Amino acid sequence: MRKQKIVILGAGYGGLMTATRLQKTVGVNEAEIVLVNKNEYHYETTWLHEASAGTLHHDRVRYDIKTVIDQNKVDFIKDTAVEVKTDEKKVILENGEIDYDYLVVALGGESETFGIKGLKEYAFSIVNVNSARQIREHIEYQFATYSSEAEKKDERLTIVVGGAGFTGIEFLGELGNRIPELCREYDVDFKKVKVICVEAAPMVLPGFDPELVEYAVAHLEKKGVEFRIGTAIKECTTEGIIVGKGEEELEEIKAGTVIWAAGVRGNSLIEKSGIEAMRGRVKVQPDLRVPGHDNIFIIGDCSLIINEEINRPYPPTAQIAMQQGETCARNLVSLIRNKTELETFKPDIKGTVCSLGEDDAIGEAFGKKMVGSKASFMKKMVDNRALYMIGGPSLVLKKGKFNIF
């Protein structure tokens, strides 16, 4: 009998979790497993704010995919998926094509700019290793240029962060540590540097515990961050941004660096492939399959699942992507073994911890609130746990965060 072919697109949290769980369960004669990813490496998306600020080298946030897959069981293809031809059960890659019996789409998120003028052209987003490296180098370039130019342009040293969601706040936390270093390195007066966070909602970290938010804001303000809440970015230009408060007059903020951390969406390949989605996110069935496509699973940031308690979608997180990977792998094993009953995915939210730089954080975990070094310790444990779940103790030893005291 012909072996069934499982193709996994994306080697992020969801895709690697699926592949590593399948390789443990599926016999070589049971199914062919193929993993496709655009790079030879996996990167920890949840650490990209550190690489972007320059507090952690980008090589620390990535590792070779081949070190965590069993190559006797999983074929790795380094390529970029361009489109899924669902009728033909085929994926078009940049350098070829690949057919499948079962497909897992785990391609992660993309930045969503909601059509705001100039953002795509002039703002940076924290989305992958390349963008993180570019942000770090751009900020350094601004400091280096400021030091050497005869007529100083102070706005070079203004960094605007759009969005005070978790990404924006974690990045600001890293900048709080990095800017004093940059000032020393490039002989720049700290007082000349401005870091402005612009948030459209009336509060920082909308929806999060107000006491923890207050702690985070006080910590970041102490490090020099200026918050402009209830203020939306309306446009980005070569000079900076235009913001507005409600219907009031628009205001220009000149800035040498604009980071857009105010929107994520699913991968645009989804729409290109004719799969019904909302901003690249597909409302999947409880077993994680796509309605009308019984052989396609979508997990991670490309999937949308509803929290029935509040009737709103769960936020896209690594925590959920990894749990979905486990369920998806079990459901695939059932399908290739001709079992019809599939498992329902139920997220098990253990909490949320938001770092505020190297040694501070806020969080709620296991029903408890925490701040400071305790929360920071917890955040590093969460980061190490993700490594452990995918690559076991050897990956933790190689890539883990041990600067915990």
The nearer residue to ligand NAD, 103 or 353, going by C-beta atoms, is 353
Residue 203 lies near ligand NAD (rule: CB under 6 A): no
Q: Are 230 and 220 in contact (CB under 8 A)?
A: no
The nearer residue to ligand FAD, 100 or 146, going by C-beta atoms, is 100
CA distance 265 to 126: 13
Instruction: Return the structure tokens found at 208.
Output: 């999060």
118 binds, among ligand FAD, ligand NAD, none (CB under 5 to 8 A by kind): none
Q: Looking only at Cα atoms, what is the longest distance across the chain?
A: 75
270 binds, among ligand NAD, ligand FAD, none (CB under 5 to 8 A by kind): none
Residue 292 lies near ligand NAD (rule: CB under 6 A): no
Residue 201 lies near ligand NAD (rule: CB under 6 A): yes
Instruction: Return the structure tokens found at 311.
Output: 């009737």
CA distance 227 to 214: 12
Residue 208 lies near ligand NAD (rule: CB under 6 A): no
- Residue 57, CA distances (Å) to 61, 85, 129, 136, 363 in order: 7, 38, 10, 10, 25
Residues, the chain: 405
In the complex, the smallest distance separating the C-beta of residue 136 from ligand NAD, rounded to whole angstroms, is: 18
Question: Which residue spans within 54-137 are E strands per DSSP?
Answer: 62-64, 74-78, 81-85, 90-93, 96-99, 102-105, 109-111
CA distance 142 to 256: 7
321 binds, among ligand NAD, ligand FAD, none (CB under 5 to 8 A by kind): ligand FAD
Among 34, 135, 160, 261, binds ligand NAD (CB under 6 A): 261
Among 108, 173, 266, 316, binds ligand NAD (CB under 6 A): 316
Residue 354 lies near ligand NAD (rule: CB under 6 A): yes
Q: What is the DSSP string of 127-184?
A: -SHHHHHHHHHHHHHHHHHHHH-SS--GGGGEEEEE--SHHHHHHHHHHHHHHHHHHH
In this structure, what are the phi and psi dihedrals at residue 310, rounded to the nearest 5 degrees? -120, 5
In the complex, the smallest distance separating the C-beta of residue 261 from ligand NAD, rounded to whole angstroms, is: 5
Residue 378 lies near ligand NAD (rule: CB under 6 A): no
216 binds, among ligand NAD, ligand FAD, none (CB under 5 to 8 A by kind): none
Residue 240 lies near ligand NAD (rule: CB under 6 A): no
Binding residues with ligand NAD: total (CB under 6 A): 25
The nearer residue to ligand FAD, 162 or 316, going by C-beta atoms, is 316
Question: Which amino acid appears at position 22 of this protein?
Answer: L
- Binding interface with ligand FAD (CB under 6 A): 9-15, 36-39, 42, 45-46, 48-49, 80-81, 106-108, 126, 167, 170, 267, 269, 300-301, 316-319, 321
> Which class for 132: exposed (0-12), middle (13-18), buried (19 or more C-beta within 10 A)?
buried
Q: Which is the catalytic residue, given 44, 50, 170, 174? A: 170
Question: Which amino acid appears at position 46 of this protein?
Answer: T
Residue 352 lies near ligand NAD (rule: CB under 6 A): yes
Residue 264 lies near ligand NAD (rule: CB under 6 A): yes
Answer yes or no: 170 catalytic.
Answer: yes
- Per CB under 6 A, residues contacting ligand NAD are 162-168, 170, 198-201, 206, 232-233, 261-264, 315-317, 352-354
Catalytic positions are 170
